Structure 1
Amino acid sequence: MIRTARLLGPVLLLGALLAPAARAETRACAAPPELLEAGAPLPATVRAARAGSLRILVVGGASVLGLGTSGPAAVWPARLEALIAARRPGLTVEVAVRGRRGLTTAEAAALLAAELAQAPAHLVLWATGTVSAVRGLEVDEMVEALNAGLEALKAAGSDAVLIDPQFSRFLRTNANIEPYLGTLRLVAAAHQVPLLRRWELMRHWTETGQVDVERAPKPERVAATDRLNECLAEAMAALLRSGVAEARGQPRP
């Protein structure tokens, strides 16, 4: 089970990423295919998997720490690990989760630098943008921090996947979210890294009635949050499949 420190577990990552999910008891949320395309390769991930050992670092705020879920096993990084671990053993994977509630993009970039100095990562999943939007921080400050963090990852030979904010009616009403979403798309394109468009995915799931945490009755809210995390894990797995396929020169799955 993934904890906020580290987890080792044998999995065959490439087999997991290039195959559909095997958890029959959970119905994944359907999503438009274009939201699951990486648009950029993940070569370091492929090289590490071929060498037999892969370290994944997840960085973010409350959404990666499990607030509102039924427990650590239900958080999307843990569900992603479980999707991979359901496949054949063979690859040693270390998953580290780092972050805290209220983490800004600049603070996350500093955390990344400190973490990389201690232990390199082959693949970094970086969730950011929400705190900047909520606090109305300057977009240029976010861009500067993103550029610094992504350049550091590139210099270290690590793959990166950016993850934009979670969809929220409250946030949409009370914050000017669009500049931050647009900036994350531009930065991802400029650095040629995949972007998990979490905002659009969650809005689609909400509007199609697949999962809606904000309007779930209080007794059902934990279960709805668990389901949201399962769906996010499935979406990330699909995005990684796409990035791995691009790195291997294959058509997108």
Structure 2
Amino acid sequence: MALLVALPPSLAAGAAPPACTEPAELLEAGAPLPATLRALRAGTLRILVIGGVSVLGAGTSGPEAPWPARLQALLRERWPKAAIEVAVRGERGINTTEASALLATELARTPTQLVLWATGTFSAVRGAEVNDMVETLNERLEALKAADTDAVLIDPQFSRFLRANANIDPYLEALRLVAAAHQVPLLQRWELMRHWVETEQVDVERAPKPQRVAATDRLNACLAAAMAALLRDGLAEAREGAAN
């Protein structure tokens, strides 16, 4: 059964772990977010996050710790006069086709200006055909564009286990190509997390068990900050495009 998560309005005071640092180029949107900009200017923005357990906050300390909840808090702080809602739609083991169907159902129910779509992990784990994933993404992204809804793709989380047990590279490359073809931003979660691991900023896989929840919270805080930065860049591109 799919899970619809209602996110809290803000994080508890002092609850956010320290931010991570990363190469600036990993936070470049590379594409504008015009529908999101219009919604913010109008004062109401709804964001839909769709994916698997990573968007549902598995392993975190509570409902305010997953990155979508933290993202909502960051965006509300940045745009205090706008009514900003971040909703999460997902389930464990969801594939791209199932996520696309959930997206269609949710968007038919509630107007949404921005979709953040985490995908590719389950396809890689199952060894699914890359072309099937690409075909589904192409179809849904075209539908989102026709509905005047912005989208951001999110590639899989970095994992030594996944790297050792699945051929992840074709899926990462396919997501990069799809994002470029449709001119939508891509949050390079794989590269971001690999950088944080290699620079010893956060490494959930190797965190001692007593520290794993804290490490997962930190990871989610860093992902929220990265997504907020990517969205700011996409909004800046949209402003520039509107001015020309």
Match of 1:220 in 2: 211
Q: Which of 111, 136, 141 is the equivalent residue of 1:145? A: 136
Rounded Cα–Cα distance in structure 2 between residues aligned with 1:27 and 1:7 = 21
1:60 deviates by 0.5
How far does residue 85 in structure 1 lie from its aligned partner after superposition?
2.5
Which letter maps to 2:29? A
Matches within 5 A, 1:38-49: 38-49=29-40
- How far apart, in 2, do the equivalents of 1:166 and 1:196 lie? 11
Tell me the residue number matched to 2:177.
186
CA distance in 1, matches of 2:131, 2:199: 34
1:59 maps to 2:50:
yes
CA shift, 1:90, in A, is 1.1
Residue 26 (structure 2) aligned to one of 32, 35, 45? 35
Summarize the alignment of residues 83-232 of structure 1 with structure 2, pairs less than 5 Å apart: 83-87=74-78, 89-232=80-223
1:5 correspondence with 2:11: no
RMSD: 1.9
Aligned partners of 1:6 and 1:225: how far apart in 2? 20
Q: Do the aligned partners of 2:67 and 2:221 also contact (CA within 8 Å) in 1?
A: yes
**Cα offsets for 1:105-149 (capped at 9, x unmatched):** 011111111111111210100000000000000001100110111
- Aligned counterparts of 2:62 and 2:173: Cα–Cα separation in 1: 33
Q: Distance in 2 between matches of 1:182 and 1:51?
A: 36
Quote the Cα distance in structure 2 between the aligned partners of 1:87 and 1:154: 26
1:213-253 Cα shifts (integer Å, max 9, x gaps): 00000000000000000000000011001000000018xxx
Report the Cα distance in structure 2 between the residues aligned to 1:210 and 1:241, rounded to whole angstroms. Answer: 23
Q: TM-score, normalised by structure 1?
A: 0.89
- Spell out, residue by residue over 1:166-186, the C-alpha distance to the aligned partner (whole angstroms, 9 max, x if none): 000000000000000000000
| Superposed CA offset, 1:196-225 (max 9, x none) | 000000000000000000000000000000
Query: 1:8, CA displacement in angstroms?
Result: 8.2
What letter corresponds to residue 111 of structure 1 in structure 2?
A: L
- Percent identity between matched residues is 73
What letter matches 2:188 in structure 1?
A: R
Q: State the alpha-carbon separation in 2 of the partners of residues 8 and 73 from structure 1.
A: 6
CA drift of 1:26 comes to 3.7
Residue in structure 2 matched with residue 16 of structure 1 by the alignment = none
Aligned AA (1:228): L
Deviation at 1:7, TM superposition (A): 4.9
The answer for the alignment partner of 1:75 in structure 2 is: 66
8 A Cα contact 1:9 1:93, kept in partner: no
Report the Cα distance in structure 2 between the residues aligned to 1:59 and 1:88, rounded to whole angstroms.
23
Q: Structure 2: where are the runs of 5+ without partners?
A: none
Q: Cα offset for 1:53? A: 0.8
TM-score by length of 2: 0.93
- Unaligned regions of 5+ residues in structure 1, if any? 11-22
Q: CA 1:55–1:106 in structure 2 vs 1: closer, same or farther (change >3 Å)?
A: same
